Amino acid sequence: MGAVNGKDFINRLNQLKPEIWYDGEKVEGLLSEHPAFKGIIQTKAALYDLQHDPKIKDEMTYTSPTSGNPVGLSFLQPKTKEDLIRRRKMFEHWAQHTGGIMGRSPDYLNTVLMSFASSVSLLKNKSNSFPNNLQAFYELARENDLSLAHTFVAPQVNRSQIYIENSEEPIAAKVIGKNEEGIIIKGARVLATQGGLTDELLVFSVGKFLFNEDEAFAFSIPSNTKGLKFICRDTFIGGQSAFDHPLSSRYEEMDSIVVFDNVLVPWNRVFYYNNDEVAEDFIIKSSFHPFAKHQVMVRQIVKLEFILGVAELLIETINVSEYQHIHEKMSEIIIGLETMRALLEKAENHASLDEWGYMRPDINTLMVAGNLFPKIYSRFTEIIQQIGASGMITLPTEKAFHSTIRTDLDRYLQGATKPAEERVKIFRLAWDLTMSSFGTRQTQYERYFFGDPIRLSSELYNAYPKSEYVKVISNFLKNHMN
Ligand SMILES: Cc1cc2nc3c(=O)[nH]c(=O)nc-3n(C[C@H](O)[C@H](O)[C@H](O)COP(=O)(O)OP(=O)(O)OC[C@H]3O[C@@H](n4cnc5c(N)ncnc54)[C@H](O)[C@@H]3O)c2cc1C
């Protein structure tokens, strides 16, 4: 089969019929026609179509080592720095298609799965661990271009480090039994972006100080597995008009709570279970962080380019470019963008081979970028709000522009360089990016999706090699201050 196109993706998804709950009702009918999901499904389909665009096909796919079919390039296991650059180019094509707004373009989880498969040896000879299953699933996903959602985090009931759940019925998803067919999971996980809207759900356990052994597992199952339920939050699509809701109408990805109601995970899909040591180690020692963060950074840079463009258009539209604070604010955005670009190049230039022969971008540099971006992203949304001022509020609808009130709108909402309708379009875009429920979710997404920023800074502090610098100061004290 190999790399799918948009039609293949939609057809397969529509046949799946997973159990999705939206606004208290079970979703029936075609997912691709549902008002809450159709925008994102169409956008994803357009991304898959790019894999077959003759102009960039060779940059989007590579030849499968097993079938010889063209498969998605985000599945490529990089062995050279050139492979990393190829991967970056591919990420850029998809990110540019959505201005980096779609956090979960399929390359993110394809990369995550590829990174796990590239470190599969970590599972060898470990109890309750099945490296061959992980390798086989990676190949299955690559050869069929399976779309993936993931859920790594337990429900937010009690985040004290010493909390161990002891409720009668599981809250956090747990292994509650096993039989000759597989393991049985009961409980919940939060949250899964695009949960239920993909072929498969990838489940891993991460980041707990204290693991209950029965919460330490990893597997992947089809989204329509019996007992698997996705409970959606409310939609952030403001409406179907692309004029009124330019981003949410096509990029709202939906997030869902995932419930496992005695879900049987077949043995051939279990990667490990009931092994807290492996659960702790695998995420840290595997190439998950370097490869996933590489994809994330590329998308984030494209998003910063989008932000820069929106901010400059606002400035031109109402002619505020003469003010010094505007220069300062725009230079903040430029510095953020250029810093991220420089870090990306450094991460690639300083890449090195890991023990299994895969070329990992430099993790310390990626961690710096991962700490920087959530901070600058929130700040840049604030800058857009400050440049736009009341223009972020005076936003009549498409319908208003087609009504008899239009003459007033044309007169009073014109901008220095744009007629009223154009001006409102630009401001609506800025509003949907930074202020609508969709826009605020974007900020929360960039702040948290790769983990809690507080703990990310601890990770950077703990991992960063500091002893050389301490030695220099110790020598200084010895040689100059005695
Ligand atoms: C829009 C969005 C989409 C997401 N999509 C996905 C997805 O698709 N799949 C997925 O698996 N996850 C997803 N996530 C979840 C994401 O991984 C988590 O939000 C992130 O890991 C932080 O965990 P938490 O939200 O449970 O925060 P919590 O751990 O509950 O933190 C709450 C507060 O307590 C503090 N805190 C808690 N523990 C500690 C500690 N040990 N040290 C210091 N401070 C602490 C935090 O700093 C924070 O202020 C998504 C999140 C968002 C916002």
Which alpha helices (H) appear in 169-260, and where do they start and end?
248-251
Report which of 401, 404, 439 is spatially closest to residue 423, judged by C-alpha positions: 401
Quick check: 384 and 307 in contact, CB under 8 A?
yes
Co-location of 338 and 272 in the same domain: no
Co-location of 201 and 270 in the same domain: yes
Q: How close is the Cα of 452 to the center of ligand 1, in Å?
A: 5
Q: How confident is the model at residue 164 (pLDDT cuts 50, 70, 90)?
A: confident
Q: How far is 373 from 375, CA to CA, in rounded Å?
A: 5
Write down the pLDDT at residue 208. Answer: 59
Co-location of 295 and 276 in the same domain: no
Q: How far is 32 from 14, CA to CA, in rounded Å?
A: 7
Ligand 1 atom closest to Cα of 189? 11
What does each C-alpha distance from 305 to 44, 111, 121, 122 come to in angstroms? 21, 23, 39, 38
Helices 453-463 and 363-388, axial angle in degrees (round to 10): 140
Please compute the mean of the pLDDT values over residues 436-450 and round it to a whole number.
96
Residue 210 has pLDDT above 80, yes or no: no
Please indicate, yes or no, if residue 482 is contained in any of the structural domains.
no
Co-location of 263 and 317 in the same domain: no
Q: Which of 437, 452, 461 to mutate to test the pocket of ligand 1 (most atoms within 8 A of CB)?
A: 452
Write down the pLDDT at residue 161. Answer: 83
Please indicate, yes or no, if residue 1 is contained in any of the structural domains.
no
Helices 324-349 and 81-97, axial angle in degrees (round to 10): 140
**Lowest mean pLDDT segment, chosen from 58-72, 198-212, 289-303, 363-377:** 198-212
- Using DSSP bridges, classify how beta strands 255-266 and 182-193 pair: parallel, antiparallel or unpaired: antiparallel
Q: How far is 271 from 182, CA to CA, in rounded Å?
A: 11
Write down the pLDDT at residue 482. Answer: 79
Residue nearest to atom 15 of ligand 1 (CA): 449
Co-location of 456 and 342 in the same domain: yes
Angle (CA) 222-227-233 rounded to 5° is: 85
Please indicate, yes or no, if residue 19 is contained in any of the structural domains.
yes
Q: How confident is the model at residue 98 (pLDDT cuts 50, 70, 90)?
A: very high
Co-location of 112 and 77 in the same domain: yes
Q: Among residues 241, 263, 282, which one ends one of the domains?
A: 282
Q: How close is the Cα of 256 to the center of ligand 1, in Å?
A: 14
Co-location of 26 and 111 in the same domain: yes
Please indicate, yes or no, if residue 409 is contained in any of the structural domains.
yes
Domain carrying residue 80? 6-282
C-alpha R_g of the chain: 24
Maximum Cα–Cα distance across the chain: 85
Q: How far is 474 from 457, CA to CA, in rounded Å?
A: 26
Please compute the mean of the pLDDT values over residues 158-181 and round it to a whole number.
92
Q: How close is the Cα of 370 to the center of ligand 1, in Å?
A: 15
Residue indicated by tokens 């990676």 = 138
Please indicate, yes or no, if residue 479 is contained in any of the structural domains.
no
Q: Among residues 227, 249, 282, which one ends one of the domains?
A: 282
Co-location of 309 and 258 in the same domain: no
Ligand 1 atom closest to Cα of 209? 41
C-alpha neighbours within 13 Å on the C-beta side of residue 359: 17
Residue 207 has pLDDT above 80, yes or no: no
Q: How close is the Cα of 99 to the center of ligand 1, in Å?
A: 25
Co-location of 184 and 318 in the same domain: no
Q: How far is 405 from 337, CA to CA, in rounded Å?
A: 41
Residue 28 has pLDDT above 60, yes or no: yes
Write down the pLDDT at residue 439. Answer: 98
Tell me the per-residue pLDDT of 286-314, one tens digit each, with 9 for 90 and over. Answer: 999 999 999 999 999 999 999 999 999 99
Write down the pLDDT at residue 38. Answer: 96
The three-state secondary structure class of 165 is coil
Q: How close is the Cα of 395 to the center of ligand 1, in Å?
A: 34
Tell me the per-residue pLDDT of 454-475, one tens digit each, with 9 for 90 and over. Answer: 999 999 999 999 999 999 999 9
Please indicate, yes or no, if residue 100 is contained in any of the structural domains.
yes
Please indicate, yes or no, if residue 477 is contained in any of the structural domains.
no
**Lowest mean pLDDT segment, chosen from 6-15, 44-53, 67-76, 209-218:** 209-218
Q: Which residues contact 60 (CB under 8 A, 6 or more apart)?
A: 3, 50, 51, 53, 72, 73, 90, 93
Pocket of ligand 1 (CB under 6 A): 150-153, 156, 159, 161, 191-193, 255, 441, 444-445, 448-449, 451-452, 454-455
Tell me the per-residue pLDDT of 249-275, one tens digit each, with 9 for 90 and over. Answer: 999 999 999 999 999 999 999 999 999
Q: What is the DSSP string of 257-314?
A: EEEEEEEEEEGGGEEE-S-HHHHHHHHHHSSHHHHHHHHHHHHHHHHHHHHHHHHHHH
Quick check: 256 and 326 in contact, CB under 8 A?
no
Q: What mean pLDDT is reported for the chain?
A: 96
ipTM beyond cut 0.95: yes
Structure tokens at 251: 């990029």
Please count the structural domains in the chain.
Answer: 2
Please compute the mean of the pLDDT values over residues 143-163 and round it to a whole number.
93
Q: How confident is the model at residue 209 (pLDDT cuts 50, 70, 90)?
A: low
Side by side, which strands form the sheet with 270-272? 148-151, 200-203, 218-222, 270-272
Quick check: 203 and 220 in contact, CB under 8 A?
yes
Quick check: 18 and 34 in contact, CB under 8 A?
no
**Lowest mean pLDDT segment, chosen from 96-110, 224-238, 271-285:** 271-285
Co-location of 75 and 198 in the same domain: yes
Write down the pLDDT at residue 211. Answer: 65
Q: Which residues contact 1 (CB under 8 A, 6 or more apart)?
A: 69, 143, 144, 145
Please give the DSSP secondary-structure letter assigned to residue 418: S
Q: What is the CATH number of the domain that holds 44?
A: 2.40.110.10
Percentage of the chain surpassing pLDDT 70? 99
Structure tokens at 284: 């840290």
Q: Among residues 264, 282, 300, which one ends one of the domains?
A: 282
- Using DSSP bridges, classify how beta strands 228-232 and 19-22 pair: parallel, antiparallel or unpaired: parallel
Please indicate, yes or no, if residue 143 is contained in any of the structural domains.
yes
pTM over 0.90: yes
Secondary-structure percent of the chain, ordered helix, strand, coil, rounded to 5:
50, 15, 35
Co-location of 259 and 344 in the same domain: no
Q: What is the CATH number of the domain that holds 384?
A: 1.20.140.10
- Residue 256 host element (H or E): strand 255-266
Structure tokens at 192: 């899964």
Q: How close is the Cα of 449 to the center of ligand 1, in Å?
A: 7
Q: How far is 19 from 256, CA to CA, in rounded Å?
A: 12
Report which of 257, 254, 258, 238 is spatially closest to residue 246, judged by C-alpha positions: 238
Co-location of 275 and 343 in the same domain: no
